[in-house]
Structure 1
């Protein structure tokens, strides 16, 4: 009996600078708040509660960081394996993918656009989405080619509002509603 071992292709990881950006954002948000809380609590002797709250925030950040470090795509001959935070895995088979949409979407109200990949099945249900803020353009291209489905390119970048009017089911619920888009930014 001959054992044929499935050859695993490239493992794709998110952009490396995301950790530094998240650490900077958390520090900007948390340090002034805890600085003021320590300053207010020193006279009353409640600083141990502030220290406990700070330890909880730091622990939550570390858990979130460890969860995001486990995010990657692994390419296989049959499709791709999507590893999301907390060890959850989705298998997207090339046979299930009907179309791959490659679209550049503007981020917020700026002029910068990011590539997005949307893999949909024959019923136009979303199977996979890759955000350009997290994944490099080359990673998105590699996954698109691995899925071996017809690729549709948008000729020009779109705003989220324009894309919502065309394919709203491919976006998360908060992206389809203008109020929640502003809150999420």
Structure 2
């Protein structure tokens, strides 16, 4: 199945290193627990339940890996396409893009800043967001270079999440906003 019938001009995938870190963490947590469960249940014969749960977890993890490897953002001649992990594909017509905001953001002043790209409509509402935690700097810049139909605003100084919550909360995800700080 193709994303769209139009030819894909550029497509970038989410960082693969995050997947390896997640699998390593899952193994580090589950292997000791499974060993203890098998050790306790094999003498009683209840190990079958542990094996069934382990099989279910493996199936869920394989499905999660499959979904993760499919996540991408593509630009076609007519659309910006975001294939998401959970919620299908977000199709944004290129003519509905009002502007693109590129900025360096960090969670706190102590954390390392990461490039973020916000694709906004004419009213300033977010259409697509590429977070540096998940997308490489090169990938974000590749997508931005193909969004020439809208002005690209570069914020020169690094911005904290706190500053963005007070100045432009509409650009953030719902869980990053703090309603008490909104103007």
Note if 1:72 corresponds to 2:53. no
Moved more, 127-136 or 13-22: 13-22
Q: How far, CA to CA, are the matches of 1:24 and 1:114 in structure 2?
A: 24
Question: How far does the alpha carbon of each residue in 1:109-128 deviate from its partner, in whole angstroms, 9 at most, with x for none?
Answer: 75212111111111221100
Counterparts in 2 of 1:140-151, with a 5 A limit?
140-148=140-148, 149-151=150-152
Note if 1:173 corresponds to 2:143. no
Partner of 1:180: none
Change (3 A) 1:142 1:87: same
Partner of 1:16: 16
Q: Give structure 2 stretches of 5+ with no counterpart.
A: 179-183
C-alpha deviation, 1:107, in angstroms: 4.5
Counterparts in 2 of 1:62-141, with a 5 A limit?
62-85=62-85, 88-107=88-107, 110-141=110-141
Divergent runs of 4+, >4 A: 107-110
- Tell me if structure 2 keeps the 8 A contact 1:11–1:73: yes
Change (3 A) 1:75 1:37: same
Pairwise CA RMSD: 2.3
TM-score, normalised relative to structure 1: 0.81
Q: Number of matched residues?
A: 173
Change (3 A) 1:26 1:110: farther
Moved more, 109-118 or 46-55: 109-118
Structure number with the bigger relative contact order (C-alpha 8 A, sep ≥ 6) is: 2
